[in-house]
Amino acid sequence: MIFDNIKKFIKENDLPLYRIAQVREAVYHKGVSSWEEAVNLPADLREKLKKNFKILSFDVITVQSSKLDLVFKALLRLNDGNRIETVLMKPGKTWSVCVSSQAGCPLGCAFCATGKMGFKRHLTDEEISDQVLFWYQFLRKHNLGERVSNIVFMGMGEPLLNYVNVVKAIETLSCADYLNIGQRHISVSTSGIADKFFNLAQDLPQVNLALSLHNADDEERTRLMPVNRKYNLETVKEKLEEYIARTGREVFIEYTVIEGENNSPAHVRKLGKWINSIKDNYLLHVNLIACNPAVGKAVATDESTVKKFASALKAMNINVSIRKSLGSDISAACGQLAAKEKNKK
Ligand code: SAH
Ligand code: SF4
């Protein structure tokens, strides 16, 4: 929902202005998922709101839960029939939401299920922020905990290709009047749309930036990620340096380890060299992710392969951690979101 529309409605209908705070309380504190549940409002107002506003801008088709770990995945139907997926997970003590920024993705990375389905359309800022509002309602309804603590733009789509709506959604999500999620707890992951890095530094300097690299050789990276043709390693490096100079923030380099594809000693050396060539590279932190089975060459990579890769990078004085990717049993892990029919129960 866009809360400004409710404010306008209350003003235009000459309702008492304290109703605005009451609606806000019901939606963003109580986490009601229908106007009927907003019992702090008079019945006639609940009725009016029901006629005029949907709390969520989409319908929830299914929610699946992982048996292996604390992960939930929801399949959503947008107003025009397009479908997207969003994930709630508890990798540690707090809840994180993985949001989608587009229905599908135009960039077609060789290892990603979202890329395989092609591009449908950009999501509106409302459709993006509502994914988090939905999971907030879900946590409340199932007594799973108080709140969503972190948001990662690692769902479907390339967030920096939908820049304006992503920025608007982040502003809404971090607004103290609504869900109040600190911008330092929000991360944007990009395949390297380098000409938007500086915009992000200016508009949202507190938000974390994660760059999906996956290969430090131009030719090979282009094969895995066709976007490298437009923004090659040199361009990405240059724009990353500008970003770091402006924000002084740590940047995460995402590297999905794909057995036999990007994990040889030569790959480690190239990656290390690329990172060490970047100004202020002490601010770079490599996150290694085991490849999840998705499409094409994406087959599961075992943990020992990832650990070996990590040790080799450490030996080159590079900050590195291994990121656990959760929810693979319900196809909710990195690169597995596709919103296919078969997810319907
Ligand atoms: N489009 C953005 C954000 C969404 S993808 C991006 O590419 O960064 C989120 C992360 O999942 C990216 O780092 C992406 O490279 C990674 N990913 C895609 N397919 C994967 C797979 N099969 N296994 C593991 N990670 C994958
Ligand atoms: Fe798009 Fe990211 Fe998937 Fe590449 S990895 S196809 S950029 S969603």
For position 334, what pLDDT does the model report? 85
The token pair that represents 7 in the structure block: 């404010």
Tell me the mean pLDDT in the region 179-207: 98
Which pLDDT belongs to residue 343? 41
| Pocket flag, ligand 1, residue 272 (CB < 6 Å) | no
Q: What percent of the chain has pLDDT over 70?
A: 98
Q: Which atom of ligand 1 is nearest to the CA of 113?
A: 19
Residues 137-178 pLDDT 10s: 999 999 998 799 999 999 999 999 999 999 999 999 999 999
**What pLDDT does 139 receive?**
97
Going by C-alpha positions, the residue among 332, 254, 343 that lies closest to residue 88 is 332
Q: What percent of the chain is predicted at pLDDT more than 90?
A: 86
Q: pLDDT-derived band of residue 204, with 50, 70 and 90 as boundaries?
A: very high
Q: How far is the CA of 210 from the centre of ligand 1 (A)?
A: 11
- Nearest partner of 169 among 57, 18, 49, 24, judged by Cα: 57
Rounded Cα–Cα distance for residues 149 and 182 (Å)? 8
| Residue 206, CB-side half-sphere exposure with 13 Å CA sphere | 9
Domains belonging to the chain, first-starting first, are 3-52 (1.10.150), 56-103+111-186 (3.20.20.70), 191-323 (3.20.20.70)
What count of Cα atoms within 13 Å lies in the side-chain half-sphere of residue 86? Answer: 30
DSSP H helices, 142-288, are 163-174, 197-203, 218-224, 233-247, 265-276
99 lines ligand 1 (CB under 6 A): no
The DSSP code sequence of 116-137 is: HT-EEEEPPHHHHHHHHHHHHH
Average pLDDT, the chain: 94
Is residue 159 in contact with ligand 2, taking CB distance under 6 Å? no
Ligand 1 centroid vs 254 CA: distance in angstroms? 8
Q: Would you state the pLDDT for residue 241?
A: 98
- For 92-101, the pLDDT digits (tens) are 999 999 999 9
Which of 191, 254, 258 gets mutated to test ligand 2 (max ligand atoms within 8 A of its CB)?
Answer: 191
Residue-level pLDDT at 297: 66
Over residues 24-34, the mean pLDDT reads 97
Ligand 1: residue whose CA is nearest its atom 8: 190
**105 C-beta closer than 6 A to ligand 2:** yes
CA of 282 to the centre of ligand 1 (A): 24
- Is the confidence at residue 344, as pLDDT, over 60? no
pLDDT for the residue 146: 79
Mean pLDDT, residues 38-49 taken together: 97
Q: Mind listing the pLDDT tens digit for each residue in 215-230? A: 999 999 999 999 999 9
Residues 143, 261: Cα–Cα separation, whole Å: 43
Residue 341, pLDDT above cutoff 60: no
The answer to whether residues 132 and 60 touch, using CB atoms and an 8 Å cutoff, is no
Catalytic residue among 12, 36, 85, 242: 85
Name the residue of 114, 160, 196, 215 whose CB sits within 8 Å of the most ligand 2 atoms, as the mutation to test its pocket. 114
Q: Which of 109, 112, 291, 334 is catalytic?
A: 334
